[in-house]
Structure 1
C-alpha cells in the first residue's frame, strides 16, 4: 500500500483538498453533464488570469462537417513558433476555458504563439472524433503557418499530441517536438504505476477505466495506436520528446515506457517523474513549490524544442 502521507508534502495536500472541495472524488458517478459542470466550476476557481502582454483571439477551423473552435494566444514578444495545445479532461471534459490561463502563461513565458484546440468530446463524439479534430488542427497550422509547429498537451491532450506525432512523422511539416504532461498512452495496466498508484489522490484506475469506456463507447479498440499510442509497433522518426509525469499518478509509467521506446528506436526522448506530485498539478503551479518548478521545466522544454535545441 502506497503511503501518500510521506510521499506528498503539505502544500500538495492543500491543493488536493482544495480541488476536492470543488470536485468530489466520486464525481465519476455523476452524469456527464454534472461532471462537466463540476469540472468547469473547479477550473474557474483556479483561474489565474493572463500575464501582461498576452492577447487571445477565439476563432474556428472549418472542416467539411463542422467547425473546430480554437483560441490563439500571442505575446508582445512574438517568436516564430506555433504551439498546438491539447487540453486534458479524460476526453469528456474541458475546452478552451479549462486551460485558458495555462496556455496564456505558456505563451507569455516562451514568446510563442499558442493555439488551444477545442476538440470534440465523448460520449457525444466517440473515438476517433477527437483524434480527427487534432489532426485537422495540425493540417491547418501546417497550411497557415510557415514556422515550426510544436505539440503540447496534458493527460488526454498528451495522448492526442502523441497520436498526431505518430501520424505525421512523414509529413513535410512534421512537428519539431512534443512536450507531454502526465499523458495517458495506453500502457500495460497490470504493472508499474498502474498498480502502485491505482488509488492515487486525484486519479484512480477506476477513473481511467471509466474514461476509456466512455471514449470508445465500450468497443474493443485493442491495437489502435490512434487511441493508445503505446500500441504502435514503430517508434522511429518521432520528434524530440520531453515527458513530465507525476509520481503519485497511475499514468506515470506510460512516460517511462514511451521514453524507452523512442530511445530504443534511435530517437531523442527524456522523462521526468516529479516527486510527490499528483495528476492535474498544472493547476497548482502558483501554490505548490514542486508544481511551480515542474511548470518551469515544461516551459523550458517548449522553449528549447521550439528553437530546435536539445538540452535534455
Structure 2
C-alpha cells in the first residue's frame, strides 16, 4: 500500500500549524521521560493559548474529590475530558478550548483534571471521569479529545442507560481499534501522531503491559453497544486513530443506537489547537460545537441511519 501523500492531503495552513507545533513539541517527545514530556507539552499548549472570549469566566472547584474547572453557563453541563495520552495535560492545557466551547454553545462546561499515568494506573483516570459525571447536577453532554474521547466513551459504557447523559462528542478518539490494519497502518507515520506513539500510550496506563477486552480501557472492545447515548465522533483524516471514530459509530448503529462519524479532511491529530489559525480546523470546531448544542437540546440533526 503506497504511503499517503501528505503534501497534497494537508494544506499549507495546516503544515504551518504542524511546523509551529513541532518547534514546541518535537516528534520524539514520547520517548522522553515523563517529567520532560509534561514540561514540553505544557509549554506547547501555552504557546497556542488564546485567552477567553468576552464574557467567559472560570473557577476551579473540587467535584467528587476531583479537581475541576467550571466555566459557568446554561444547563445542561458539558463535561470535558482532555487529551494527552493519559500522561500529559490538565486544566491548563485545554483551558481556552473549554472557554471557546462555553462561548459557542452558551452551556456550562466542566473540565476534569483526572489523575495521570504512570503515577496513577488504570482505572484511576476512568474512575475520576465517572465520579465527576455522576456528581454533576442535572443532564450532561460528554465531550473529549483523543485520550479524553476514550474516557468519555468508557464512562458512557459504564453508565449506559443513564438518561442524564444526553449524548457524547468524541474528537479524534483512541478507542482501542485493531492496530494491525486500516488507518493504524495507513497513517502509521502521520505528522503529529504515529503508530509508535499510540502503542506507547496504550501500555502506559497499565505499567507497560496493555490490557485487552476491557471496555473501561478500550470501548471498541466491548461486546455490547446497546443503550449508549447519541454519539458524534470526529476523525482527523491524517491520523492513525481515524478508523476508531467510524468503527465505533458503526457499532452503535448496528446495535440500534444513534451515532454519526465524520472525517475532518486533511486534519491531523491535535488540530483543536489550530482552530484559530487553520480554516479547516475552524470549520470542524464549529461543527463540533453545533453537535454539542444539538445533543444538549435533545436534537439529532443527522437523520435516521441504517
Scaled to the shorter chain, the TM-score interval is: over 0.9
Answer yes or no: is the 8 Å Cα contact 2:13–2:277 preserved in 1: yes
Separation in structure 1 between the aligned mates of residue 112 and residue 71 of structure 2, nearest angstrom: 12
Answer yes or no: is the 8 Å Cα contact 2:202–2:210 preserved in 1: no
| Structure-2 residue corresponding to 1:25 | 27
Separation in structure 2 between the aligned mates of residue 179 and residue 216 of structure 1, nearest angstrom: 26
Answer yes or no: is the 8 Å Cα contact 1:197–1:204 preserved in 2: yes
Helix, strand or coil: the match of 1:272? strand
| Structure-2 residue corresponding to 1:79 | 74
* Deviation at residue 220 of structure 1 after TM alignment: 4.1
Answer yes or no: is the 8 Å Cα contact 2:102–2:108 preserved in 1: yes
Q: 2:234 aligns with which of 229, 240, 244?
A: 244
Separation in structure 1 between the aligned mates of residue 209 and residue 22 of structure 2, nearest angstrom: 31
* Deviation at residue 219 of structure 1 after TM alignment: 2.8
Helix, strand or coil: the match of 1:176? strand
| Structure-2 residue corresponding to 1:92 | 87
TM-score, normalising length: structure 1 = 0.95
Q: Structure 1 stretch 23-32 or stretch 276-285: which is displaced more?
A: 23-32
| Structure-1 residue corresponding to 2:62 | 60
Deviations 1:60-92 (A, max 9, x none): 124xxxx31100002xxx422101100000000
* Deviation at residue 174 of structure 1 after TM alignment: 3.7
**Equivalent residue runs for 1:264-283 within 5 Å:** 264-283=254-273
Deviations 1:171-213 (A, max 9, x none): 3x44100000000000011111001100000000110111112
| Structure-1 residue corresponding to 2:182 | 192
Deviations 1:24-67 (A, max 9, x none): 001112110000000000000000110111110101124xxxx3
Helix, strand or coil: the match of 2:76? strand
Deviations 1:253-284 (A, max 9, x none): 00110011001011110111011000000000
Helix, strand or coil: the match of 2:205? helix
Helix, strand or coil: the match of 1:102? helix
Q: Does residue 144 of structure 2 align to residue 149 of structure 1?
A: no
Structure 1 residue runs of 5 or longer lacking an equivalent are none
Separation in structure 2 between the aligned mates of residue 257 and residue 9 of structure 1, nearest angstrom: 26
**Equivalent residue runs for 1:170-249 within 5 Å:** 170-171=161-162, 173-249=163-239
Q: Which runs of 4+ in 1 moved over 2 A?
A: none
Separation in structure 1 between the aligned mates of residue 265 and residue 103 of structure 2, nearest angstrom: 26
| Structure-1 residue corresponding to 2:67 | 69
| Structure-1 residue corresponding to 2:52 | 50
Q: Structure 1 stretch 105-114 or stretch 218-227: which is displaced more?
A: 218-227
| Structure-2 residue corresponding to 1:5 | 7
Answer yes or no: is the 8 Å Cα contact 1:187–1:254 preserved in 2: yes
Answer yes or no: is the 8 Å Cα contact 2:203–2:210 preserved in 1: no
Helix, strand or coil: the match of 2:58? strand
Answer yes or no: is the 8 Å Cα contact 1:168–1:174 preserved in 2: no
Structure 2 residue runs of 5 or longer lacking an equivalent are none
CA RMSD between the two structures? 0.9
| Structure-2 residue corresponding to 1:286 | 276
**Equivalent residue runs for 1:103-182 within 5 Å:** 103-141=98-136, 145-146=137-138, 148-171=139-162, 173-182=163-172
